[in-house]
């Protein structure tokens, strides 16, 4: 894909499941190469569904979606998905978990090993390579899950609330680590989250969604310089943005009729 | 006292207590002219010693039948479970007939099998097979369809082939269920072989098993020998169950939560 053509392009996309009311409607969004776009919004606004559409896990019901200039399902070879849960195979060691996607693609063993070694060192888990998932903490499991995605050398990384279940300190730490990896590898990211602070810290742009049906109500560019560090969180520009996005999110949540 | 020593000592103490209780009941509770109904443990051991060659050959015959029936049930149930895991429609079509296999009493089945394949090892193996089959196929199928949805998505997204999805994902994640079925079947297998032997065994030429011995000893009213046969049957069951527990430990101890140490 060339630098000029967008990596992901939504044009008036809608998604419905069966006869139910649409989950997403009128989604128009364009992601350029190397962008880091966070999707934030109330529960049930279709953020995760949006990621699943990009991944080709579910077809669009209306409008047009192009990933790397083509319809989603065919672009999967340079796309990686990180789920909300670590989604590790409990019967495999950390190393074999990281290699599993490559095994599915019949990558030769020595290449597999090299890519896994690199991913292990990127997430600083080399010393735990022979452990089983149950021996790891929540944060470590998530790092294995990210390492596994990175072995695919993705151009497009989809993260579905990957740090939602972690405590705040671990989350901050993993946010910094994710950006550090981004300095060394170039990918475009879509990141679903409930945390405004996390979205501002990571993103180049934040899309705020409202529910019933899910649609994008605001797009907030985040022009804080990279590399971002723990000090970034102390800067007035960061805090102004967090306040701004929080207010936008609150206005969305108030105006969204709740089902329950 | 250490926990380890205690976990060894307590079962021994419990065993000693029950044997003591046995003697007390026999001597203090049961009237003298009825005592032959509950032979003393030492009499049972003597009976076991006296009839050792007979019991040994019967145990070997029964173990052979049990092992063949059990092995056949494991192999076939696994294959069938793979098929059943493909779709709910396939399961809905086959499950009722699987129930038929399980619900047909051995006492009805035995005469039919005798007519079809004749009395002896073949009939015993088939009866054992039928008794073991159902828990195996139900548990394994349940395991194969209970794979974590996210893991399935992960595999599909990686363009995993159908075979990769089955053998790299569904089969390993079904192993805990498979071993549950295996444990149930392993305790049923010797019982199946003994019942099968009693109804459809062949007593001629040293082919009789523990079921046949049971019939002989009860006809001759040899209660100590009958109790000895029961004890040997239990031992055979322990061997089967123990072997499966060992296999399960080998396959799961590294990764499955059921083998996680409590203090970890």
pLDDT digits (tens, 9 = 90+) for A158-190: 999 999 888 999 999 999 999 999 988 889 999
Considering only CB atoms, which chain A residues are within 8 Å of B158? 76, 101, 104-105
- List of long-range contacts for A252-258, beta carbons under 8 Å, 24+ apart: A252/A41, A252/A42, A252/A208, A252/A209, A252/A210, A252/A217, A252/A218, A253/A42, A255/A210, A256/A42, A256/A45, A256/A210, A256/A211, A256/A212, A257/A212
pLDDT at A2: 47
pLDDT tens sequence across B212-230 = 999 999 999 999 999 999 9
The mean per-residue pLDDT over the stretch B193-203 comes to: 91
Question: At residue B263, does pLDDT exceed 70?
Answer: no
Topology of domain B40-255 in CATH is MetI-like fold (1.10.3720)
Distances A151 to A89, A100, B128 between C-alpha atoms, Å: 16, 10, 49
- What is the domain count for chain A? 1
- Quote the domain boundaries for residue A107: 8-17+37-255
**Residue A88, domain member (yes or no):** yes
Taking CA–CA distances from A53, the nearest residue in chain B reads B157
pLDDT tens sequence across A202-220 = 999 999 999 989 999 999 9
Question: Exposed, middle or buried: residue A54 (CB in 10 Å: 0-12, 13-18, 19+)?
Answer: buried
Question: How far apart (Å, rounded) are the C-alpha atoms in residues B17 and B231?
Answer: 18
Considering only CB atoms, which chain A residues are within 8 Å of B174? none
pLDDT at B23: 95
Is the CB of A105 less than 8 angstroms away from the CB of B159? yes
Is the CB of A105 less than 8 angstroms away from the CB of B158? yes
**Residue A28, domain member (yes or no):** no
Residue to substitute from B146, B150, B177, interface A, most A β-carbons within 10 A: B150
A109: domain CATH number is 3.40.50.300
pLDDT at B220: 93
Is the CB of A133 less than 8 angstroms away from the CB of B255? yes
Is the CB of B155 less than 8 angstroms away from the CB of A104? yes
pLDDT at A252: 87
Interface pTM (ipTM) of the complex? Answer: 0.79
Residue from the list B150, B159, B175 with its beta carbon closest to the beta carbon of A83? B150
């Amino acid at each position: 894909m060339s630098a000029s053509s967008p990596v992901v392009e939504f044009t008036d996309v809608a998604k419905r499941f069966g006869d139910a009311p649409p989950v997403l409607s009128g989604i128009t969004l364009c992601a350029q190469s190397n962008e880091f776009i966070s999707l934030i919004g109330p529960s049930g606004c279709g953020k995760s569904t949006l990621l699943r559409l990009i991944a080709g896990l579910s077809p669009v019901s209306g409008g047009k979606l192009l990933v790397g200039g083509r319809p989603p399902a065919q672009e999967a070879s340079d796309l990686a998905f990180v789920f909300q849960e670590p989604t590790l195979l409990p019967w495999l060691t950390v190393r074999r978990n990281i290699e599993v996607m490559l095994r599915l693609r019949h990558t030769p063993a020595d290449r597999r090993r090299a890519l896994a070694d690199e991913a292990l060192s990127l997430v600083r888990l080399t010393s735990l390579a022979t452990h089983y998932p149950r021996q790891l903490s929540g944060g470590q499991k998530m790092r294995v899950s990210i390492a596994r995605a990175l072995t695919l050398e993705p151009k497009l990384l989809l993260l579905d609330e990957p740090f939602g279940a972690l405590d705040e300190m671990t989350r901050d730490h993993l946010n910094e680590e994710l950006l550090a990896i981004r300095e060394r590898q170039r990918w475009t990211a879509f990141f679903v989250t409930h945390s405004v602070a996390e979205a501002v810290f990571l993103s180049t742009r934040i899309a705020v969604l409202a529910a019933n049906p899910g649609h994008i109500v605001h797009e907030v560019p985040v022009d804080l310089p990279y590399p971002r560090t723990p000090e970034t969180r102390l800067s007035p520009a960061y805090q102004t943005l967090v306040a701004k996005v929080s207010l936008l999110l609150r206005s969305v949540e108030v105006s969204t009729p709740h089902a329950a | 006292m250490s926990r380890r020593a205690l976990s060894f000592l307590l079962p021994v103490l419990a065993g000693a207590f029950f044997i003591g209780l046995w003697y007390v009941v026999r001597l203090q509770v049961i009237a003298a002219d009825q005592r032959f109904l509950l032979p003393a443990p030492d009499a049972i051991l003597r009976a076991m010693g006296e009839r050792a060659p007979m019991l040994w050959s019967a145990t070997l015959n029964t173990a052979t039948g049990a092992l063949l029936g059990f092995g056949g049930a494991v192999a076939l149930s696994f294959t069938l479970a793979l098929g059943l895991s493909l779709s709910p429609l396939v399961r809905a079509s086959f499950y009722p007939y699987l129930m038929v296999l399980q619900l047909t009493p051995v006492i009805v089945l035995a005469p039919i099998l005798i007519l079809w394949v004749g009395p002896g090892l073949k009939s015993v193996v088939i009866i054992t097979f039928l008794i073991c089959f159902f828990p195996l196929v139900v548990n394994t199928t349940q395991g194969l369809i209970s794979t974590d949805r996210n893991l399935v998505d992960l595999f599909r997204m990686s363009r995993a082939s159908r075979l990769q999805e089955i053998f790299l994902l569904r089969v390993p994640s079904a192993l805990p269920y498979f071993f549950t079925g295996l444990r149930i079947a392993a305790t049923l297998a010797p019982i199946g072989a003994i019942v099968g032997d009693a109804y459809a065994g062949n007593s001629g030429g040293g082919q009789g098993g523990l079921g046949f011995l049971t019939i002989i000893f009860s006809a001759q009213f040899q209660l100590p020998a009958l109790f000895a046969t029961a004890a040997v049957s239990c031992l055979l069951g322990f061997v089967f169950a123990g072997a499966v527990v060992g296999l399960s430990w080998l396959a799961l101890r590294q990764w499955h939560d059921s083998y996680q140490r409590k203090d970890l």
